[in-house]
Amino acid sequence: MRFRLLKKIPARAWPFLILIAVTHLAVYYVPMSLNQGRLHYDLTTALDRAVPFLPLSAVPYVLAFPYWILGFLYAASLGKRPFYRVFAAIELAHLWAFCTYLVFPTTIALPDIPADRPFGWLAGLVYSLDEPVNLFPSMHCYVSWMIWLSVRGQAQVPRGTRRFCLAFSLLVCVSTQTLKQHYLADLVSGVLLAEAAFWVSGWGRRFFHSHFRKSSLPLP
């Protein structure tokens, strides 16, 4: 199945897929490096403190990474029009998040993990590898939600696949809260960022096609 998916991806899509991966890493690591030693803001509220800590949430939090990879590969297999829209949207979201992380660095106090809690070891591993910075908006939320947007409304995508993407994207968003890795504001802003970037990319394509459809510009 994995190899059938790869065969459906046109050669022209691979540079865009690689660019998505490169910008994703840049958005995460560059602000983290540049903001070392700066004041980081803590946006924790009473609502955040009321959310229970569930170490099991580390499972969907970690599985989000292969979900993103497979999600963008699947989007690339759907055809150039839907894929270019998703590509433009995720790059817009990355750009917004990059600027926000630079000018408004945030952090959060991680909870102590009782040694006897199931999946506590996995939560501890997440804490050791994923520093509590670059929180607002949540990258886990906006990237996962973008995977859902890539299949939403796509008649060629099986209904079961669309339902799975919605359910898993929601699960990842919830896991950012119950793992205590993000604030509620990070979740909300992440989902809104994905929706806004996806809308802008669709509006931009319609705008250029309506104004330049009679030209010889090679529009996607």
Per-residue pLDDT, 138: 98
Q: Output the pLDDT for position 7.
A: 80
Which residue do the tokens 């150039």 mark? 80
Q: Which residues contact 116 (CB under 8 A, 6 or more apart)?
A: none
- pLDDT score for 204: 67
CA distances 35 to 43, 148, 168, 186, Å, are 17, 31, 32, 18
pLDDT confidence of residue 114: 77
pLDDT of residue 1: 47
What number of H helices and E strands is found in the chain? 9, 0
Partner residues linked to 41 by β-bridges: 106
- Predicted confidence at residue 217, as pLDDT, reads 41
Whether the ω angle into residue 137 lies within 30 degrees of 0, i.e. cis, is yes
Q: Which residue ranges of the chain lie beneath pLDDT 50?
A: 1, 214-220
pLDDT of residue 218: 46
d(CA 198, CA 185): 20
What pLDDT sits at residue 8? 87
